[in-house]
Amino acid sequence: MKIEENALIENSLGVESRCKVLAKVESVSDLSTLEVLLNANSKYYILGEGTNIVPPSYFDGVVIKAEFNHIDIANNILSVGASYNWTELVKFCIQNKINGFENLIDIPGSVGASPVQNIGAYGTEVSSLIDSIDCFCLNTFSKKNLTNLDCDFTYRKSVLKNSQYLIYNVNFISNLEERISYQYASVQKYIDQNSIDPSSLTIEGISNIISNVRSEVLPNPAIINNAGSFFKNPIISKNIINFNNFSEDELIIWNYSDDLIKVGAARLIELIKNNVEPSNNVSIHEHHSLVLVTNGNATQDEVLDYANEIIDLVFETFNIPLEIEPSVII
């Protein structure tokens, strides 16, 4: 295990952030040594690639990173180390004709972070691909295997979020039947505009389409500081919505269950963004209202103040609560 003091916390928002101790766990044998480290420093945070966090200027505790980069297939299970890059995994699956991953291409971050918030895009969620997760409990200091059901996956949530589990390996199902999913509105629009026959699509073809669609609206965090979608699409009862300011037709609404709907948060923000007080260092991305970007000089407080103003305006206008999607480190 590698230990570094006063280390930088890498993050795609470009917030300058350091931690008291950075611990990089490189092998299963390193896991047992975490008990000594955490007994001396009880405050900790488990970090992936830092693409979905809002860090503080200083974290007075231990930041733990699992540095496991293996990939193996046996008995229809694809076992992947937590630090393996997510998009590299998607490309590996496409090359090896492993179905189900293709709609999730180009989501920033690591494999280990993918189940924490049950990443999803273009009609697919990672929970549909996971068999089980190997992790290390930082309360009992013991290894544990969590089944898919144990993880209690829901929309952008799981029991792994803000938990005591350090993920070091994710076991995916590698023999799912091919099912090309292209029903998402922006994907269908691209198919129609480019006169593509949906029946001819392969998993490689749909991944290329999604990569193109995604690049048109979502900024690359390696170029523009951002943490991806900053707000979750709210799941609510339709009867709570205030339509006094905007009509139902002006919102984007999907059926979610018999009693609930999902509302497009990007559209809500698009309708009120001109009323948001400008910030020196934070703004709404010009091509996607769900994405907040920084100029590299923002602090955690500035990012959260700007986000909370958006939350307040959306609630005042529509009576719809918005929830921040990235993890806020405190």
Alpha helix positions (H), the chain = 28-31, 34-40, 86-95, 185-193, 203-217, 265-272, 300-318
Burial of 89 (0-12, 13-18, 19+ CB in 10 A): buried
Q: Are 133 and 168 in contact (CB under 8 A)?
A: no
User: Of 83, 229, 289, 327, which residue is the catalytic one?
Assistant: 229
User: Of 10, 16, 302, 325, which residue is the catalytic one?
Assistant: 325
Tokens at 98, concatenated: 């492993």
> Which positions ≥6 away from 274 have C-beta within 8 Å?
none
- Annotated active-site residue 179? The verdict is no
Cβ count within 10 A of residue 16:
15
Q: Where are the beta strands (DSSP E) in 76-129?
A: 77-81, 120-121, 124-125
- Annotated active-site residue 325? The verdict is yes
Tokens at 257, concatenated: 């269950």
- Annotated active-site residue 32? The verdict is no
User: Of 156, 207, 289, 327, which residue is the catalytic one?
Assistant: 156
**Residue 295 phi, psi dihedral angles, 5° rounding:** -95, 10
Tokens 């205030």 belong to which residue? Answer: 242
Q: Which residues are catalytic?
A: 156, 229, 325
